[in-house]
Amino acid sequence: MRLSALPHTELVAGSCGSFCSSPASAGQGLIPQIAPCIDDNDVVTKFVLPVSASGFSKPYSHVNGSTDLNTSFHSVVRALVTTGHLPAFTKPFDDYRSASIRMRVALGQAHLAVRNNRTRSQLVPSPEWARLDPSEKAFASFLLGSAMAKLVAAQMLRCPMLLHLSMYERAFDIDFGGARRPDFIGQTLDGDWIVVEAKGRSRLTRSVLADAKVQAMSISKINGTAPISCVASGTRFNKNLVSVELLDPPANPEGAIVDFPTEAFFRTYYEPIMELLDESERTVSVSGQEVDVVRLPGLDLAVGLESRLAAQMRRQRPFVGFTMGDVLGRSDARIGPDQSPDTSWDSDQGEVGQDGVFVQLGQSWSGSPSERT
Separation of alpha carbons 318 and 322, rounded Å: 9
pLDDT in tens, 62-114: 999 999 999 999 999 999 999 876 655 555 555 677 788 889 999 999 999 98
Separation of alpha carbons 57 and 59, rounded Å: 6
Amino acid sitting at position 297? P
Separation of alpha carbons 44 and 354, rounded Å: 21
Side-chain-facing half-sphere of 335: CA atoms under 13 Å: 18
pLDDT at 347: 46
Which of 24-33, 53-62, 164-173 comes out lowest in average pLDDT?
A: 24-33
Report, as an integer, the average pLDDT of 143-165: 95
Identify whether the C-beta of residue 359 lies closer than 8 Å to the C-beta of residue 294: no
pTM equals 0.82
Report, as an integer, the average pLDDT of 35-50: 58
Please report, for residues 93, 130, 322, the alpha-carbon distance to residue 89 in angstroms, rounded to integers and kept in the order given. Answer: 9, 38, 21
Report, as an integer, the average pLDDT of 32-55: 63
Identify whether the C-beta of residue 147 lies closer than 8 Å to the C-beta of residue 154: no
Higher pLDDT pick, 11 / 303: 303
Separation of alpha carbons 95 and 89, rounded Å: 13
Nearest by Cα to 75 from 104, 116, 36, 47: 47
Which of 87-101, 104-118, 262-276, 306-320 comes out lowest in average pLDDT?
A: 87-101
Separation of alpha carbons 343 and 331, rounded Å: 15
- Is pLDDT above 90 for 3? no
* Sheet strands (E) in 21-75: 22-23, 30-31, 46-54, 65-72
- Please compute Rg for the chain using Cα positions: 20
pLDDT in tens, 187-215: 999 999 999 999 999 888 999 999 999 99
pLDDT at 198: 96
pLDDT at 162: 94
CB neighbour class for 40 (10 Å; exposed up to 12, middle 13-18, buried from 19): exposed
Identify whether the C-beta of residue 295 lies closer than 8 Å to the C-beta of residue 31: no
- Is pLDDT above 80 for 18? no
- Is pLDDT above 80 for 121? yes
Report, as an integer, the average pLDDT of 299-322: 93
**Per-residue confidence band for 337, with pLDDT thresholds at 50, 70 and 90:** very low
Nearest by Cα to 20 from 1, 35, 42, 3: 35
Higher pLDDT pick, 284 / 28: 284
Contacts of 61 (CB under 8 A, 6+ apart): none
Higher pLDDT pick, 206 / 371: 206
Which of 139-148, 221-230, 310-319, 329-338 comes out lowest in average pLDDT?
A: 329-338
Nearest by Cα to 316 from 277, 263, 279: 263
